[in-house]
Structure formats: structure tokens, C-alpha cells
Amino acid sequence: MSPGGAWAARTALGLLGLSPLVAQAQLEAQAVPMSVQARFDPAHIEGGERLGLLSTALLFEATPGWWLGPVVVGAATGQRGGFFVLGGQIERRWRLADQWRAQVGLMAGGGGGAGAPVGGGLMVQPSASLLYDWGPVQTGVSWSRVNMPSGQIGSPQWGLIVNWDGRFPFFDATHIGRSTPDTARSGLGLDRLSLNTDRVRWDALDGRPAGSMRLVGVRAEQQAGQHAYWGVEAAAATHGGADGYMELLGTLGWETSAAAWGLAPLRVGVRGALGLGGGGAVETGGGVLGKAAGVLRWQWHPDVFVGLEAGAVRSAGGGYRARYAQLQLGMQLDHPGRAGEARVVGMDWAASLQHVTRAARKDGSVLALDTMGIKVRRQAWEQVYLTGQAHSAFAGRAGAYSMGLAGVGWGSTPGHAGWSLGAELMAGAAGGGGVATQGGAVAQAMVYAGRSFGAGSLQLGAGRIRSQRGDLNSPVLDISWNLRFGLGQR
């Protein structure tokens, strides 16, 4: 690699928070400091209505003392369950005397929901925090100011903050496709990924009629021993008139093999989940949801499984009670404990801005809207990848509009000048902000042209988004900054 190429790679990795280093010739995993941050802010809407916000951020140390990464903000108390904001956060951290730390940060994102007066959806939140360092965990107090400039949400408040610090192991992108004797987990350590579809029925309660909806979502999990596992899941409404409903949950589960009954590929277990959800005229109170379910999972191929789950979901205040059944189609990303070398597979993270040129609204008008989003891509075959994406509006008078997509893509190998081409076909759920998605099911197709700059690349895309049943049918323009790296997979 030339001196100029090495500098570009270091710059790209540093800006995206993955590494200040370029991989050496030997095939060894690198690691960069990583931090998971949770903060609760008792904010309020103009007029005094309470809106308790829970922020969860995944941050990486780009350069010493400077951290950045994606963040999700959701309503946890009040009456706006389903209020979500997706964005990015940058922080400067200092170590003070003894065990004390200080940090200042700035979050910017887009979103809304649950009828909150968010205007175009842009949210800006500066903060300052003082924390006590217990080792890998720091706890403390923070001051912040929530501001939605085009809406009616803006308040200063004191809150509580928790940081958990760890390491993010990865391989340089030049090692993708090679074998490595390093079989330790890399990346976020996820072992399996599933695409889920739910049928949800809720009870009549407090004068509200019974109803139903259909959700699509994704779940990522890591095994924690022979039987236990943990993970995160996200889902949104696609049918049932609840477009705009979303949920984001953390999950814990336990399962065991049915080999004693002569059914070795079958796993039987139970699962619980806790997190935030609401929107789409589904009343969840403050937004805190809990789930409990029984699970059957059939590993019909070492890398593919199908599952069936049935259970109940409740809101914290008891105002939302529902039963659900779920079908799962999953991919085994890693095989902990498998003997032999690992293979390095490609992974891309991207920050995205999209411009929907003609977004039909429920009132009959047609206006443009702008979203900011996060994209994740994982290599499935040499030039084919699986992708998951989330986008939320920050301009265009559609502040509560959000979208989640999953699908498949193809990308060419960068040519001599660093240019590449690609295409994606995705489906998922979108709604909120008065956008005419009727039920929520959407599909989006995109083509891309990209230019590599070291380990990063700038991509320009054009395509179309279309609602299955609503009037949304519009061209889409996209600009994304991608970072590519490698993960070990057994």
C-alpha cells in the first residue's frame, strides 16, 4: 500500500470509529475501544407534558478522547409510547482525578411518533456528564437540552447515565476471504440472525376496541453458554392499519436440544424481552414493553434454521395486552466451539442520507422528505450480501416517518480507479408522519455507484420506494459513507 493509501485508510477508519491503524501483513485481529451508553432524560413537551427519553448509543473511539457512533432515542415514560429518534452522537471524554470522568456530547437525529409535536423531525441534544469509574462500567449524572427546532419539544434537564466500555475486534478489509487461526469472536459477537413475521392480536381495554396487526422484524443473538443466549430485536407494522408502530427490545432466552426424543435438530426453549414500542395508534402508554414466549427452532442446515414462537406482550402500565405468533427464518452467522480455522467475511457499516422526492401523504398532498439512516451489510457470497437498514425523517413535514428494510444486494469489486457498482432489493415496513403507506409494507430497489477512499467509500444511489397498499410511490436519492472491515466466522 502506498503512503497515500495508508493515510486514507487510517483516516477513513478513524472517522468511522473503528481503528487508527492499518492492518499489518500478518493475519491478526485488531481491536478498537467500544462503549455502550444508556442515558435517561426526564424531558417534557411545551406546556409541561412529561416525555421521559431513554437513549442508547454504540460508540467507538475514533482518535484518543473522541468517540462517535449511532444512537437510538425512545420514549420510556409519559404517554408517547412509540416516539423514536435515530441519529448519531459524538463525544469528547476526559479522565479527571482518581476515578472521575467528564464528557460532553452532541446528538443529532430524526424521528418522532405517537402524535408528538415534532415538526420536520430534526432533534438536536447537547449534553455534559460527570461519571464515577467502577472499572468497565461508569455511572453518573448528565445535563442535556432536548431541542426539536421545527416542533414543540424543547427542555433542559438533569438525567442519569451509564457507560459500559469494551473492545471491538475486527480484521482489515484486505483480509476478507482468507483463513485465520484466530477463532475468538469478532465484531459485536453475534452468532445468528433471523427475519421474523408476527401476527399480533390485542384485547379490548378501557373502551378501546380489540384489533390486530402484522409485523416484520429482525433479531440478532449471541450464545452465552450451551443453553442461554441474549440479543436485540426490532420490528414494525406492515398490515392492519397500524403503520407507524415500531418496537425495539433486548432479549434473553434459554433452549435445549430435543435429541433425547430422537429429534436432534430441534431446539425447545423460552424467551423474554424488554424494551420500547408503540405508535401507529397502538396505545402503549409510556412505551415500555415486555414479552414472554415459548420457542421451537429447527436447524435444518448447519447455517439455516426455521422457528415458531408464541407468547404474550404487555405494556408497563397494563394499557396494552396482546398475544402473538411468530415465524422465523434464520441464518447462523457463527458456530462457537466448532473446531478448525475461521474465515474472514466482509462487513459494511454505513451512514446514509436519503431524499424521497414525491412522498404521497394521507391528506392527498405530495411533498419531498429527507431521512437519515444506518445501513449494515454482511457478506453472504463473494459479491452478494445481506443488508438491514433503518431510516427516520428529519425534514419535509413528516417527523414521525420511519422505515426499516431488509434484503439482498450485489456489489462489484472496486476497479483500478476505485470505482464500483452495486444494486439492492429490499422489503420492510414504513409509516408515520402522515405518509400514505396504508398498513406499512414497502419495497425499495436501489442502484449505486461508489468510489473507494482507503477502507471507506462514498456511494451515490438512485432508486424507488413503493408502498404495497398505499399511495407512496416515489424516486429516492441516497448518499452514503461506507466503512468495510472483516469478521471471523467459523
Give per-residue pLDDT as tens, 173-218. 888 888 887 767 788 888 999 999 999 998 876 777 888 999 999 9
Query: Nearest Cα to 423, choosing from 415, 432, 412?
Result: 412
**What is the rounded distance in angstroms from the CA atom of residue 481 to the CA atom of residue 343?**
26
> What are the grid coordinates assigned to 346, written together?
466482509
Weakest mean pLDDT among 9-18, 150-159, 304-313, 382-391:
9-18
Work out the end-to-end distance of the chain between its first and last CA atoms, rounded to an integer number of angstroms.
29
Write down the number of H helices and E strands in the chain: 1, 25
Say yes or no to pLDDT of 11 above 90.
no
Burial class (CB in 10 A: 0-12, 13-18, 19+), 62: buried
Which amino acid is located at 112 in the chain?
G
What are phi and psi for residue 407, nearest 5 degrees? 180, -155
Distance CA 468, CA 240 (A): 13
All domains of the chain in start order, with CATH: 30-168 (2.40.160.20), 192-244+251-332 (2.40.160.20), 342-489 (2.40.160.20)
d(CA 465, CA 314): 33
Alpha carbon 103 to its chain's center? 24
pLDDT above 70: percentage of residues in the chain: 93
Polymer length of the chain: 490
Q: Pick from 485, 487, 389: which is nearest to 19 by CA?
A: 485
Residue 112 confidence (pLDDT): 94
| Mean per-residue pLDDT over the chain, rounded | 90
The per-residue pLDDT for 335 is 81
pLDDT value of position 26: 54
Q: Quick one: CA torsion of 334, 335, 337, 338, rounded to 10 degrees? A: -120
More confident residue, 98 or 69: 69
Q: Across residues 111-130, what is the average pLDDT? A: 96
Q: Which residues of 264-294 are buried (b: 16+ CB within 10 A; e: fewer)?
A: eebbebebebebbbbbbbbbbbbbbbebebe
Q: How far is CA 56 from the centre of its chain?
A: 11
Question: What is the pLDDT at residue 259?
Answer: 87
Measured between alpha carbons, how far is 12 from 482 in angstroms, rounded to an integer?
Answer: 9
Distance between CA 403 and CA 244 in Å, rounded?
9
Percentage of the chain modeled with pLDDT above 90: 75
| All three cell numbers of 417 | 480507479
Question: What does the alpha-carbon distance between residue 125 and residue 157 come to, in Å, rounded to a whole number?
Answer: 11
Residue 13 main-chain phi, psi, to 5 deg:
-65, -40
Interval 69-84: pLDDT, tens: 999 999 999 999 999 9
Alpha-carbon Rg of the chain, whole angstroms? 22
- The answer to which of 171-175, 283-287, 336-340, 460-464 has the lowest mean pLDDT is 336-340
Question: Strand pairing partners for 462?
Answer: 447, 477
Query: What cell does 195 get?
Result: 427475519
Does the pLDDT value for residue 169 go beyond 50? Answer: yes
- ∠ Cα 188 190 194 (to 5°): 135
More reliable by pLDDT, 1 or 142: 142
Strands in 3-78 per DSSP E: 30-44, 50-63, 66-78
Query: Contact, 192 vs 331, CB < 8 A?
Result: yes
pTM of this structure: 0.90
Q: How far apart are CA 425 and CA 408, in angstroms?
A: 6
The CA-CA-CA angle for residues 30, 31, 32, to 5°, reads 135
**Cell digits of residue 430:** 414504513
User: Is the distance from CB of 448 to CB of 458 less than 8 angstroms?
Assistant: no
